[in-house]
Amino acid sequence: MDHMPTVTDEHKKLHALAGTWIGEETMAPSPWGAGGAAVGHYTGRVECDGFFVSQDYRQETDGAVSFRGHGIFGYDAEKKQFAWYWVDSMGSVPREPSWGTWSENTLQLTSQSPHNLGRYTYEFKGPDAYEFRLENSFDGGATWQTFMTGVYRRA
């Protein structure tokens, strides 16, 4: 190796996700539930000397924990794309990370599974607020259905 890797501006963009966040969420009806209001709690930490951001998430419905997840964000300089590894209390193991780009104040990533495509959008509304949207496509990306939306603020 000619030199040690250094944290780039792209890595530093991910640092916006660090901190403690609380969000008001709306879930669409699905095979997993009737949908409705929920509260999301998210803690993000800058890890590994600034190269990654880890996240711990829990969702509460009617005052009880209804869902948990853990993610790792990073940047792949060769692909020039952001990567997001996500596991949760549904128990599925992802085949690969979600991949995406950052444009102005929005990070958007896409995942692929045998059943559908997933699209995840983080739109920052300043340093202390963001909106999140999770959408699914069951026709190869021709149409998208909103599964979840959330508005988060720093706690």
Spatial separation of the C-alpha atoms in residues 42 and 21, rounded to whole Å: 5
**104 φψ region: left (φ > 0), alpha (ψ -120 to 50), beta (else):** left
Q: Are 25 and 38 within 8 A, CB to CB?
A: yes
DSSP state of 51: T
Which residues have C-beta within 8 Å of that of residue 108, sequence separation ≥ 6?
A: 100, 101, 119, 120, 121, 122
**Domains in the chain, ordered, with CATH?**
9-154 (2.40.128.20)
pLDDT value at position 107?
A: 98
In contact, 40 and 26? CB cutoff 8 Å: no
Give start and end residues of each alpha helix (H) in the chain.
Answer: 9-14
> Residues 16-35: pLDDT tens digits?
999 999 999 999 998 888 89
Gyration radius from the chain CA atoms: 16
Name the stretches of the chain with pLDDT < 50.
Answer: none
Rounded Cα gap, residues 92 and 28, in angstroms:
20
Residue length, the chain? 155
At residue 111, the pLDDT reads 96
Q: Residue 91 has what pLDDT? A: 87
